[in-house]
Structure formats: C-alpha cells, structure tokens
Chains A and B, each alone.
Chain A
C-alpha cells in the first residue's frame, strides 16, 4: 500500500466517522434524546415555555380552553381509559398525591388528565372514571377538542404511538403549568410520588 493510498484511506475513514457522529448528534438532538419520548419532549423546546393554546372537553361535556385554567397551577398528563399498564399507575399516583394535599393547596392546583383515545373515552366514560377516582373538584378528565390531539401532543412534547392491537404507547410525563400559562416543570414517569409531592409543595 503506497503512502498516498494510505492517507486517502485514513481521510475517508475520518470523514465517515465525523459525518456519522455528526448525523447521530443531529438525530438525537445533541446526544440528548435517544428515545422517541425524549426526542418529542426535547424537540418541543426548553423549559420554561408557553403551554400550547389548546382546548379540551371535560367530563361534563363542556369545552374549555387551557387558558381558562390560568391563575392556578395545572398538573397535566395524557392517558387512555383502557390502558392496562402505565396509565392506571399514574392515575393512582396522582390520586394519592392529590388526596394528601391540604384544602388550601388543592385550591391552587388542578389536575388535568387528557385522554388520547377519542373513540373509547367518551364524555360519559370520563365522568365514570372521574367518579371512580374520587370525584375531586380540582381534577378534570378531558379529551382534546376538535380532534387536535396530534397538535397538542407535538406542542407539549408528548409522543403518541397507536399500535395495531388497539393499545396506545405514549409519554407518561407530568407537565406542571404555572398560573401564568407556562410549562415550568416536567416530571418523568420514573419519579416517585413522594418526590413529586415534595416538589409540588414548593410551588403551592
């Protein structure tokens, strides 16, 4: 092998390594998002950021803009009623946290559970679920208005993947929106109830 050929070979190798590393860096948003969930979240932008201008229909069939909840902290997440995996765990976790708060703290906080299954989670079904979970006044169970699930999910940074078997894989993050309508905190699904409660108490 001549020195020229060796040099060209090394240059090509360096080019491939550099180009490949650059591509993976861009693909993972600077090596920070390796899963679809983290990619969607990071792509939506850094915190704090304005909450999307979305509307939802609550468990009583009333359409409301997200902006109508301003003035109180909102802990938002998405779920679907027939989920057998992460959703029941998150809802139970939220019920525990909310039950433990004082009346004063509850006045400052709304829990907003938005269903991503507009077919099966009808208003009646959401109302039933709301009763099952304790019918707390400050807990809203809703679905996005005018089929805006995709836009809402993209703007919040939520990944939703409906599977062929009818289940829906989705991000299980909890988004804390401040009284001014900005997303100020995202709790990951691994966060324990005690940790979430402790951190929420700082705001309430």
Chain B
C-alpha cells in the first residue's frame, strides 16, 4: 500500500498532473503495472468463481477513470486523486490475481475487449475539436488520444503474439491419447 502512496507525494503528483498524457496515461499505466507486480508478491485468497466479477470490477473502474469529468475531479479535489491512485492500483492487482483464473478463450476475449476500449477512448479524445477535460489543454488532449490509440494497438499486437505463441506451443496441440484411433 505504500507504493501508491508514494505517487501522492506532492512533488511526484505535481509531475504527473502537469500534462494530460502524464496524468491520464503514464500514471494509470504505472499504477496498473505496480498493482500487477505487487499482487505477485503478496499472497491473496482467490477463487475461480469470482474471476469474472474481478474482471468486471477492474473494467468498470478503469472505464470510470477514463471519463473526462472523472479526470477533471482528480485535478480539483485531492480526495478524488487519492481514490484515482488507489483504484487504478487495485485494477492492476485484480487483473493480475484473477485474469489467470479465467478460461483461455475468455482471457483472450477480455484482453481484446480491454484493448478495444482503450482504442475507442483514444480515438474519442484525439478526434474531438473541443476541450473535454477542463484541467488540460486541447493539444494535450489530442496527444493523449493518439498515445492511447497507440497503446491499444500495442495491446492488440501483444494479444496476437501471445495467441500465435500459444498455438505453436505443445500445450495447444492435442495429446496423443486424445487423437482418434
């Protein structure tokens, strides 16, 4: 828990809050990564039946913090910023813990959905000629939009690469006892 608190230190927070790409892209990515990594180090009770719930909760939290008004509030109210930091850290934590418990196909569908959501948000922010987040500038909004689209495309490519590797691995081939005689 000390790790997300570090991001709330005034100097670090000011650095992230300086521009929209930093606040709405770099900081969430860092928090997702930290949540993901730390969940691997912390033993946590988990059960496969709650994996879809965890994926749904993580998606909703991420989606909520991509809404322009929500991003604005993190710049106005310090409490909203604390919530932002901890909930995105929680998203990384949840995804790391529960994603591996989903069936293979569901995992791929979820990853594709998540990447599509990121691309859609990116296109929305990049294409708007009016300011969506009042705390930032239009130039920053467009830069953030295109960076987010780029990130989503990297997500697609990663999924594609993982699927290709999985299809070529022995685990994906039918075992000899499964073959018809």
Contact = CB atoms under 8 A, between A and B. Distances in A.
Secondary structure type dominating chain A contacts: helix
Interface string B53-84: 10011001001100111101000100000000
A41 to B, nearest CB: 12
B129 interface: yes
B63 A24 contact: yes
Contact of B60 (A5, A16, A189): A16
A9 B49 contact: yes
A188 B130 CA distance: 10
B27 to A, nearest CB: 18
A28 B67 contact: yes
A135 interface: no
Contact of A35 (B49, B56, B76, B132): B132
Contact of B56 (A17, A188, A189): A17
Secondary structure type dominating chain B contacts: helix
B48 A1 contact: yes
A159 B134 contact: yes
A34 interface: yes
B47 interface: yes
A163 B131 CA distance: 14
Interface in A32-82: 33-37, 39
B53 A16 contact: yes
Interface string A1-41: 10001101110110011001101100110000111110100
Given A12-B53, A16-B56, A159-B134, A39 B76 contact: no
Contacts of A34: 67-69, 132
21 contacts: A6-B49, A9-B49, A9-B50, A9-B51, A12-B53, A13-B53, A16-B53, A16-B60, A20-B56, A24-B63, A27-B64, A27-B69, A35-B68, A35-B69, A35-B132, A36-B72, A37-B131, A39-B69, A159-B134, A161-B72, A163-B135
Q: Which 5 A-B pairs have the closest CB atoms?
A: A9-B49, A20-B60, A169-B134, A13-B53, A161-B134
Interface of B: 47-53, 56-57, 60, 63-64, 67-70, 72, 76, 129-135, 138
